[in-house]
Structure 1
Amino acid sequence: MQASTPDYATTTASTEGQPTVHDVFEPRTGTWQYVVADPATLKAVIIDPVLDFDLATQVISTTTADALLSLVKEKGYHVSMILETHAHADHLTAASYLRYRLGTGSDGFKPLVVAGQRIREMQEAIGEKYGVPGEEYINVFDKLFGDDETFQIGQLTAMAIHLPGHTPDHLGYKIGDNVFCGDSLFNADLGTARCDFPGGSARDLFKSGRKLLSMPDHFKIWTGHDYPSAERGSPVPYMTIRDHRAQNKHLHDGITEDEFVTMREERDANLPAPRLFHQSLQVNIRTGQLPKPNEDGSRMLHLPLKLSGEKW
């Protein structure tokens, strides 16, 4: 089944020093992708792009990523980086595909695929768990940000912020008065992300949430996912710090660290694994590059089996 082409909305820079933000929702995995641009220079970054994967057929396609390419072309942007917030466990990243498609110009430039420096730990742990050859994930990122490292998007200065909790390698990206927080905070009626993935920590997530909510009230927090209820209807890409502090069901003002940790751990204990958990982790530590083909040309991923009842 082919993915539908996603729509996008645009938040135009209102003052100097602020970016133009295009939010693009991918409904099959509930993922928000972002194209963030400097309106003065048209330099841009793409955050957390999605590669389509059909679990029933095992077919990978690029409809969603191609829509991002169309947006970039329509706006005349020059994409300098593709930013990952973490090693996602619920969708495959389109970073390598986009790097290839955006790097075919005559100048030979290819956008950098970037994550946080702690993703090395995730790559090693996931690579060992699934038997991924080291040469397929070691040094595949073009750059790894340190905590609070700044970088340029045209004339805009951005910062990589360490936000552990959902995963230990998790980053947010502060660009102007906006923070792209990945899977840290969700819309207020959903609260926060799960913390039961390898290296996750509810206590760390509470501290990361407080770090975010200590920023100025007018800052916008752009989330990595949304799963809207029937009552709410449409997915929501951002809320202000002020609104999160008043309305976020898990982290509103007055919630203590111990209350949050107890709630989060109890909820996580009953959550099923994401549908694309095994596939996502193995592909994403490779920056979206596919496994090398075997002798008959097939590209293989490993899936763990569980036995029910007595051992054979």
Structure 2
Amino acid sequence: MSKLKERVVRHSPSRGTGSPDVWGIYEPDTGSIQYICADPATKKAALIDIAWNFDPQHYRFSTESMDQVLDLVRENGLTVEWVLDTHPHADHVMASAHLKERTGAPNAIGEKVHDIAKLWEEIYNMPGVFDPDRDFDRLLAEGETFRIGELEVRVMLSPGHTLGSITYVCGDAAFTHDTLMQPDVGTSRADFPGGNTAQLWTSIQDILALPPQTRIFVGHDYGTDERDEPEWEATVAEHKAGNRHVKDGTSREEWIKRRDERDATLPLPDRILAALQINLRGGRLPPAEDDGRVYLKLPVNRF
């Protein structure tokens, strides 16, 4: 049986002083990779891009992914210090608000979520409904730093997939979200509202300028024709040597043309129109209406 249909967990151990322990947790319904990044010395941890499971056929939610992550936290004696997201996701609903309630840890995302919120307020025709200052405890800027235990984390603005995506760099680990895919796949799409192929190229080059042995942890994997097991870790050196889209020697113009042509063939993710109006509330549903039920709004003939 293909492991692409299973909830795969792998531990990438610390490599020494200043290097975090990382657990990757594969979510098979969306091909998303969720992460625990922990300081080995203090056992303090951050949860990164955790999913709140959503069934787009029945519009029902469940918590098995966040439950699995919190079980791993307990099994490894960790204490959650941060709940982090790299961007408002299009393909899964973020568990940020629920994890904040369950762990007591503050939640954070990039400060340009303000601009993403304005863009999607227009798409949904819901002016003023999204308030990132209300729904996130910290909005992180380019170059800002914070700590997980004794480890310093640096924020890199990495636009292109969205206009406000960020990368978290913690020691020799970089959580690069939807910029790079695994070397045998290439790179991520840039055709969602606010996306920009040229900006994504620049963001990827900034990531590949990190030290060669930096472990790059990507946001998604869907396997390949030759590989039916999910993967999500490769070094900067491995990407520069063998990433099928952006290895050394690839020209900017060649990549932009290839990426734009590829993106033009891709369908809209089946969760995006539900997910964005929840994720831009920090993973909270809209308020219940007078019948006690919650409703989502979907634009017709917009995409």
Q: Partner of 2:280 in structure 1? A: 285
- Post-superposition CA distance 1:141-170 (Å, at most 9, x none): 110111011111111011011111111101
| 1:153 matched residue in structure 2 | 148
Report matched runs for 1:242-253 at 5 Å.
Answer: 242-253=237-248
Pairs within 5 Å for 1:57-96: 57-96=58-97
The CA deviation at 1:285 is 0.3
Q: Tell me the alpha carbon deviations over residues 61-110 of structure 1, each in whole angstroms, 9 at most, x when there is no partner.
A: 111111111111112211111111111111100111111111xxxxxxx2
Match of 1:134 in 2: 128
In the alignment, structure 1 residue 269 sits paired with structure 2 residue 264: yes
Q: How many angstroms does 1:136 deviate by?
A: 4.9
Residues 186-225 of structure 1: matches in 2 within 5 Å?
186-225=181-220
Shift of 1:135: 5.1
SS at match of 1:265: helix
Name the Cα RMSD after superposition: 1.5
- Paired with 1:227 and 1:68, the residues of 2 have a C-alpha distance of 20
Check if 1:25 corresponds to 2:19. Answer: no
Of the candidates 93, 102, 111, which is equivalent to residue 105 of structure 2? 111
Q: Which runs of 5+ in 2 are unaligned?
A: none
Q: Which of 245, 252, 259 lines up with 2:254 in the alignment?
A: 259
Which residue is 2:230 aligned to? 235
Distance 1:80 1:131 in 2: 36
Give the drift of 1:171: 0.4
Number of aligned positions between the proteins = 297
Q: Is the 8 A contact 2:6 2:28 kept in 1?
A: no
Could you say what secondary structure the match of 2:146 adopts? strand
Q: TM-score, normalised by structure 2?
A: 0.94
1: distance between equivalents of 2:188 and 2:299? Answer: 24
| Bigger Cα Rg | 1
Shift of 1:123: 1.1
Say if 2:115 is the partner of 1:121. Answer: yes
Q: Relative to structure 2, which stretch is displaced further, 39-48 or 74-83? A: 74-83
* SS of residue paired to 2:241: helix
Return the offset for 1:56. 1.4
- Asked whether the equivalents of residues 5 and 64 of structure 1 are also in contact (C-alpha less than 8 Å), the reply is no
Contact in 2 for aligned 1:99/1:113 (Cα 8 Å):
yes
In the alignment, is the contact (CA less than 8 A) between 1:136 and 1:291 conserved in 2? Answer: no
**Structure 1 residue matching 2:216: 3-state secondary structure:** strand
CA distance in 1, matches of 2:296, 2:131: 14
Q: Give the TM-score taking structure 1 as reference length.
A: 0.92
SS at match of 1:222: strand
* Alpha-carbon distance in structure 2 between the residues aligned to 1:281 and 1:42: 33
Contact 1:32/1:224, CA 8 A, preserved across alignment: yes
| Deviation sequence 1:216-240 (CA, Å, 0-9, x none) | 2111110000010242111111111
Query: Residue 107 of structure 1 aligns with which residue?
Result: none
Matched, 1:99 2:134: no
Task: Between 297-306 and 23-32, report the one with greater CA deviation.
Answer: 297-306
Percent of residue pairs identical: 38
Q: CA deviation at 1:133?
A: 6.2
Using the TM superposition, give the Cα deviation of residue 137 of structure 1 relative to its aligned residue in structure 2, in angstroms: 3.0
Q: How many angstroms does 1:7 deviate by?
A: 3.7
